[in-house]
């Protein structure tokens, strides 16, 4: 975990648990895109029953997750994720 936090709808901190699962998702997304000849993956958006998630690799080694409630449209979430990825990239560069 490099930064940020995530709480589930009951208010419990699930940051580390979700981060652990996301490592597997990221690996599988990269493998899928590569083996299917789709190039590098640039994003993974998913609609859930209670919320939407958007996953982006701002750099080769990092992963950015944005989670919002269902009321936020997927397209808007993608724009938020893009902006967050730019900010994350700057932040990571500043960390050296």
Partner 1 sequence: MSTAPAGYGRVLDLVTRVRGVRGAMLVAGDDGLVVAEQLMEGIKGPAVAALAASLANRLHRAMDAAGVGADQFWHLQAEQGALLVVPAPSGMLVVAVAEPDVNVGLVRLEPLVKFVKEAGARLVLLMTSAGQVLAQHGFSRAVDVMSAAALGAAIMASTDEIARQLQQPPFAGLNHQGERHGIFLAAVATGRGKLVALVVYDLDVSSLGLVQLFFEQLAADLRAASPKDSVPKQVLAADFERELSDSLNTLFGR
Among 2, 3, 21, 79, binds partner 1 (CB under 8 A): 21
Report how far residue 7's alpha carbon sits from residue 9's, in angstroms, rounded to the nearest whole number. 7
49 contacts 79 by C-beta, under 8 angstroms:
no
- Bridge-based pairing of strands 64-69 and 51-56 is antiparallel
Q: If binding is defined by CB under 8 A, does position 60 make contact with partner 1?
A: no
Give the shortest CB-94-to-partner 1 separation in angstroms. 27
Task: State which residue, 69 or 91, has the beta carbon closest to partner 1.
Answer: 69
Give the shortest CB-61-to-partner 1 separation in angstroms. 18
Q: Terminus-to-terminus CA distance in the chain, angstroms?
A: 16
| Residues at the site binding partner 1, with contacts judged by CB under 8 A | 6, 8-10, 12, 14, 17-18, 21-22, 24-25, 28-29, 31-33, 35-53, 67
């Amino acid at each position: 975990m490099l930064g940020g936090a995530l709480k589930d709808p009951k208010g419990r901190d699930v940051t580390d648990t979700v981060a652990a699962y996301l490592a597997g998702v990221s690996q599988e997304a990269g493998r899928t895109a590569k083996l299917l000849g789709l190039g590098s993956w640039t994003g993974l958006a998913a609609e859930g029953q209670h919320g939407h998630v958007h996953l982006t690799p701002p750099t080769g080694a990092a992963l950015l997750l944005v989670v919002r409630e269902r009321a936020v449209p997927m397209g808007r979430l993608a724009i938020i994720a893009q902006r967050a990825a730019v900010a994350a990239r700057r932040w990571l560069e500043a960390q050296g």
